[in-house]
Amino acid sequence: MSKAMVERLLVHSKLHKGGMRSKHMRMMIKFIKEGLSFTRAHNRAKKIESTAKIAKVRPNKGGY
């Protein structure tokens, strides 16, 4: 990761509770190390988080 990318991540981390140690930021760093751009890593992390929230809000009770 370039120095510019790390600085961009640090600025972005201030928007998330937990900063650089938040789950969102850890996922983003993982995706960036895998070769994704900042924007794509951010979008993928948001998508994963939104599906996790939906699962928490609407648990499958009784097979309905």
Tens-place pLDDT, residues 8-40: 999 999 999 999 999 999 999 999 999 999 999
Summarize the chain as % helix, strand, coil (round to 5). 70, 0, 30
Residue 55 has pLDDT above 80, yes or no: no
Identify whether 62 is part of a domain: no
Q: What is the pLDDT of residue 42?
A: 96
Identify whether 39 is part of a domain: yes
Q: What is the pLDDT of residue 21?
A: 95
Identify whether 64 is part of a domain: no
Q: Nearest-5° angle of CA 48, CA 49, CA 55?
A: 95
Identify whether 15 is part of a domain: yes
Considering its fold, how many domains does the chain have in total? 1
Residue 64 has pLDDT above 60, yes or no: no
Q: Which domain holds residue 34?
A: 3-57
Identify whether 41 is part of a domain: yes
Identify whether 31 is part of a domain: yes
Identify whether 46 is part of a domain: yes
pTM of the predicted model, to two decimals?
Answer: 0.78
Identify whether 43 is part of a domain: yes
Q: Which residues contact residue 56 at a Cβ distance below 8 angstroms, ignoring those fewer than 6 apart?
A: none
Q: Which residues contact residue 36 at a Cβ distance below 8 angstroms, ignoring those fewer than 6 apart?
A: 44
